[in-house]
Amino acid sequence: MLVVMNSRTTDCEINEVEKQLKDFGLGVQRSHGKNRFILRISGDCGLETTTVVKTIPYVEKVIFPSYPFEMVSRDYQEEKTVFKVGEVEIGAEKAVIMAGPCAVEGRESYLRAAEAVKEAGAHILRGGAYKPRSSPYAFQGLEEEGLKIMAEARSMTGLPIITEVLDQYSVEIVADYADILQVGTRNMQNFKLLRELGQVGKPVLIKRGMSATIEEWLMAAEYLLSEGNDKVILCERGIRTFETYTRNTLDISAVPIAKELSHLPVFVDPSHGTGLWKCVHPMSMAAIAAGADGLLVEVHPSPKEALCDGPQSLLPDKFALMLNSLKKVAEIIGRTL
């Protein structure tokens, strides 16, 4: 149940309402939008309790959310979520580009890639220090050494960094280095990890599971918000279907649907979504046209030598050309890049 109060309600009045609700034995969690205050109520919200709550002064209305993902939904917060990572604003008018190699393979190659994506116009640096691989014999990442290299690249370029966290045991060390923590497709329903990340005071990007419905994806984000982290980014990265030509089937329709259902920023990963570098450019344009708030793109200075995901990585010059095209698409729909 959501208890809505006008934004002109004072802190003293909100505290008074909150106390009365707690006196009923209810749990209370606050949210503050531009035009209203919302209290999320947990506990026995039966008809009798609801009737009493409606009579409390300062209470404008009581809402029973239409969806199981209460805090992620537009019922909970009408205004879209916007927050800053360093100087980069996520979820605002400007679409944000996160770019870099799939994995941090070494200091020299990563710094070269970081410099190239910065020059092309990227806003945030991506890279994997811990790599979840299907084969136990594949490159698993440089771990903390990779994090140190990413931190050096941040100092060199001034760009914030995003990297994946694999489990609840590595949350602390990754959070020490990264500006944004990424939840990969295989971990979308790792609920223990999500609860841990919900208590970290840093933004989290959560990728849609490879076989997850949109509702399951939003419910995973609900775990993060329910633990107190409201700086969450949704990322569509393709789902597994019967199609075998592309690595995954990139669900562009998930962008407008997620934005209608949720107030959270929505990004798209066209690299993992297709697995083919030739498809990254057109699918990036489609994503921005569909309303995506940003992209997560793999760029490598020498894709043929990449230790993972070379076939889906753009060369720096092709990445720069793509950004020029994206600026035109963004302008058409009233956004900037």
pLDDT tens digits, one per residue of 205-216: 999 999 999 999
Is the pLDDT confidence value at 20 over 90?
no
Is the pLDDT confidence value at 197 over 80?
yes
Quickly state the pLDDT bin for 64 (edges 50, 70, 90).
confident
Q: Do 58 and 96 reside in the same domain of the chain? A: no
Q: Do 99 and 33 reside in the same domain of the chain? A: no
Q: Do 115 and 52 reside in the same domain of the chain? A: no
In a domain, 217, yes or no: yes
Mean per-residue pLDDT, 89-115: 96
Q: Hey, what are 277's tokens?
A: 């570098």
In a domain, 218, yes or no: yes
Q: Do 19 and 98 reside in the same domain of the chain? A: no
In a domain, 74, yes or no: no
Q: Do 54 and 185 reside in the same domain of the chain? A: no
Q: Do 58 and 205 reside in the same domain of the chain? A: no
In a domain, 99, yes or no: yes
Percent of the chain scoring above 90 in pLDDT: 70
Q: Read off the CATH number of the domain in which 175 is found.
A: 3.20.20.70
Which three-class secondary structure state does DSSP give residue 38?
A: strand
Long-range CB pairs of 179-186 (<8 Å, 24+ gap) are 179/85, 179/86, 179/124, 179/154, 179/203, 180/85, 180/124, 180/204, 180/205, 180/233, 181/205, 182/206, 182/207, 183/207, 183/220, 184/132, 185/209, 185/210, 185/237, 185/272, 186/132, 186/210
Q: Do 180 and 277 reside in the same domain of the chain? A: yes
Is the pLDDT confidence value at 134 over 80?
no
Domain that holds residue 101: 83-332
Report helix angle 144-157 to 107-120, nearest 10: 40
Q: Do 115 and 228 reside in the same domain of the chain? A: yes
In a domain, 78, yes or no: no
Q: What is the pTM of this model?
A: 0.90
Q: Do 293 and 163 reside in the same domain of the chain? A: yes
Number of domains in the chain: 2
Q: Do 101 and 181 reside in the same domain of the chain? A: yes
pLDDT at 34: 58
Q: Do 89 and 59 reside in the same domain of the chain? A: no
Q: Minimal CA–CA distance to 228: which of 26, 30, 27?
A: 30
Q: Do 165 and 56 reside in the same domain of the chain? A: no
Kind and range of the H or E run holding 268: strand 266-268
